[in-house]
Amino acid sequence: MPRTLRLRQELVEQLVAHARADHPDEACGVIAGPDYATPSRFIPMVNAARSPTFYEFDSADLLRLYRDMDDRDEVPAVIYHSHTATEAYPSRTDIAYASEPDAHYVLVSTRETGNDDGPYEVRSFHIVDGVVTEDDVVVVP
Amino acid sequence: MAVEVRIPTILRPYTGGEKVVTAEGASLQELIANLDATYAGIGERLVDESGLRRFVNVYLNDEDVRFLDGLATEVTEGDSVTILPAVAGG
């Protein structure tokens, strides 16, 4: 049975806005929360790779992020990034480097709309030991 | 000398679920060897033939060891080592 990601509308909008702003480079970030089922704090990260085909959190930012989450008793409920020329589905490298088995890996594609407004698709996955399972996404007010 | 090592979620199966463990060594390389002696298999998740794995970040206190001396980085009593897998993809 697929897991369900419940994401507040406001967080979805922030995520999509970040992806559009950084297009054609990939955008990335985290939505932290008190547990994996409750993403609540939106944390956009810099894509240190500044690339249309790759993303990586800067290593110093990564340490600060994890310390900060530790101090707040938070977990990375959502780890998001955008695909700017392909669909919102994990790539081979996404699968190879995924290292948070409990996180929702959320993808958004900007290939149709680029920097502009328009319809969007947000999909979520669990990636564990190379196996991808899609989650249901429910957007709540 | 004992050093505190913070273990990321993905490697906690090796440490019986422990988030913070202690290890000994005068350099990061020795520290990782010591960790691997206690928690068999964790070493190869951190290093390969060419050194630290590309998508594993290791910090001595606040500094990424890549900006220090890598595996040769000296470690002293009271230091804290943090291991974090890179958050990366394509």
CATH of the domain at A52: 3.40.140.10
**Secondary structure (H, E, C), B22-85:** EEECCEHHHHHHHHHHHCCCHHHHHEECCEECCCEEEEECCEEHHHCCHHHCECCCCCEEEEEE
Q: The dihedral of CA B10, B11, B13, B15: what is its sign?
A: negative
Question: Measured between CA atoms, how close is B47 to chain A, in angstroms?
Answer: 15
Q: Supply A60's token pair.
A: 């110093």
- Residue ranges for chain A with pLDDT beneath 50: none
What pairing do the DSSP bridges indicate for beta strands B47-48 and A55-56?
unpaired
Does A79 contact chain B (CB < 8 Å)? yes
Locus of tokens 């290939």: A111
Question: Measured between CA atoms, how close is B33 to chain A, in angstroms?
Answer: 22
Spatial distance between the Cα atoms of A99 and A128, rounded to a whole number of angstroms = 8
Is A28's CB within 8 Å of B64's CB? no
- The whole-number pLDDT of residue A2 equals 80
Number of structural domains (chain A) is 1
ipTM of this model? 0.94
- The whole-number pLDDT of residue A82 equals 98
Give the tens place of pLDDT for each residue, B31-47.
Answer: 999 999 999 999 999 99
Q: List strands edge to edge, sheet with B2-6.
A: B20-24, B2-6, B80-85, B56-60, B63-64
Give the tens place of pLDDT for each residue, B53-77.
Answer: 999 999 999 999 999 999 999 999 9
Domains and CATH numbers, chain B: 2-85 (3.10.20.30)
What residues of B are in contact with residue A30 (Cβ under 8 Å)?
87
Average pLDDT over all residues of chain B: 96
Selected for mutation to probe chain A from B9, B54, B87 (highest A CB count within 10 Å) is B87
Is B89's CB within 8 Å of A53's CB? no
Report the SS3 class of residue A84.
Answer: coil
- The whole-number pLDDT of residue B4 equals 96
- Residues 6 or more apart whose CB falls under 8 angstroms from that of A13 comprise none
Biggest alpha carbon–alpha carbon distance for chain B = 40
Spatial distance between the Cα atoms of A98 and A29, rounded to a whole number of angstroms = 14
- The whole-number pLDDT of residue A43 equals 98
Spatial distance between the Cα atoms of A115 and A53, rounded to a whole number of angstroms = 16
Is A62's CB within 8 Å of B86's CB? yes
Identify the domain containing residue A117 by its residue range. Answer: 4-140
Is B90's CB within 8 Å of A93's CB? yes
